[in-house]
């Protein structure tokens, strides 16, 4: 079983829609959770970081962590064509070695 | 430099040849990470450096892979006797210190082994 599971998609939504991206994990010791955005032929860039459980909001992005269910989510409100990218979740037990999901490909259609 | 720089951006090589991939981290970043990203796979951790030391080499897939870092700056990932399964994008990231959550990634080196 992989440490982190993420549906690869692809996910296609109309502009303005709310997007929900999710990851599940198996290691209950994970306590650092991150979401990265990766445009084609580019390196990943950090979008959101959450420590332990709870919600975090930054502009149109909201990250949620449910440790009891071993489930994390990223919500994108009022999605824009510029949000079209691959979204990777990542998590860590100690803040040292990070385990990444396979990424979900998102296309926002104008 | 302004960001993490990796070279070459693309590398095509023949099976059995050795290749060297270079990473130039953000100035002042003491921690440096190498990852491998294969099609349909997540980022696979390979190795990290704190300064010039590599405390954790557990992610290197085989003894054909090695990495070094000099002067606390540039790092080189070397793959000897390349195999077709080594074909992937090799990503380098740096952070201010090890454990710092904000890792800044380069654009990667796309390696194709024929």
**Cβ atoms of A4 and B42 closer than 8 Å:** yes
| Facing residue for A95 by CB, picked from B43, B99, B108 | B99
| Facing residue for B106 by CB, picked from A8, A32, A43 | A43
The beta strand positions in B1-114, using DSSP E, are 5-7, 10-13, 19-24, 31-37, 43-50, 53-56, 65-69, 75-79, 88-95, 104-105, 109-113
Q: How does the average pLDDT of chain B come out, rounded?
A: 92
Residue B12 pLDDT > 60: yes
Q: How far is A74 from chain B (nearest CA, A)?
A: 17
Long-range contacts of B9-13 (CB under 8 A, 24+ apart): B9/B107, B9/B108, B9/B109, B9/B110, B10/B109, B10/B110, B10/B112, B11/B109, B11/B110, B11/B111, B11/B112, B12/B112, B12/B114, B13/B82, B13/B111, B13/B112, B13/B113, B13/B114
Between chains, do A102 and B41 touch, taking CB under 8 Å as contact? yes
Residues A71, A30: Cα–Cα separation, whole Å: 11
What pLDDT is attached to residue B1?
A: 52
Residue B101 pLDDT > 90: no
Q: Which residue of A has its CA nearest to B103?
A: A46
CA-based max dimension of chain A: 41
Q: Which residue of B has its CA nearest to A97?
A: B45
What pLDDT is attached to residue B4?
A: 95
Between chains, do B108 and A88 touch, taking CB under 8 Å as contact? no
What pLDDT is attached to residue B41?
A: 77
Per-residue pLDDT of chain A in tens (110 residues, 90 and over written 9):
678 999 888 999 999 999 999 999 999 999 999 999 999 989 999 999 888 888 999 999 999 999 999 999 999 999 999 999 999 999 988 776 788 999 999 999 99
What pLDDT is attached to residue B55?
A: 85
Residue A104's nearest CA partner among A15, A42, A19 is A19
């Amino acid at each position: 079983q992989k440490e982190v599971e993420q549906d690869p998609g692809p996910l296609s939504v109309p502009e303005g829609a709310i997007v929900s991206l999710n990851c599940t994990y198996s290691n209950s010791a994970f306590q650092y959770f991150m979401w990265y955005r990766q445009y084609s032929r580019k390196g990943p860039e950090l979008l959101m970081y959450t420590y332990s459980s709870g919600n975090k909001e930054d502009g149109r992005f909201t990250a949620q962590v449910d440790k009891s269910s071993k489930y994390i989510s990223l919500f994108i409100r009022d999605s824009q064509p510029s949000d079209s990218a691959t979204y990777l979740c990542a998590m860590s037990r100690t803040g040292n070695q990070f385990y990444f999901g396979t990424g979900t490909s998102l296309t926002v259609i104008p | 430099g302004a960001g993490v720089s990796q070279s070459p951006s693309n590398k095509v090589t023949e099976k059995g040849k050795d290749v060297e991939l270079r990473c130039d981290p953000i100035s002042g970043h003491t921690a440096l990470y190498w990852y491998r990203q294969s099609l349909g796979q997540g980022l696979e951790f390979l190795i990290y450096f704190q300064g010039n030391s590599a405390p954790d080499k557990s992610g290197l897939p085989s003894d054909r892979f090695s990495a070094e870092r000099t002067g606390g700056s540039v790092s080189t990932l070397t793959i000897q006797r390349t195999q077709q399964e080594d074909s992937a994008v090799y990503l380098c990231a740096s952070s201010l210190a090890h454990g710092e959550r904000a890792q800044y990634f380069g654009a990667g080196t796309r390696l194709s082994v024929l």
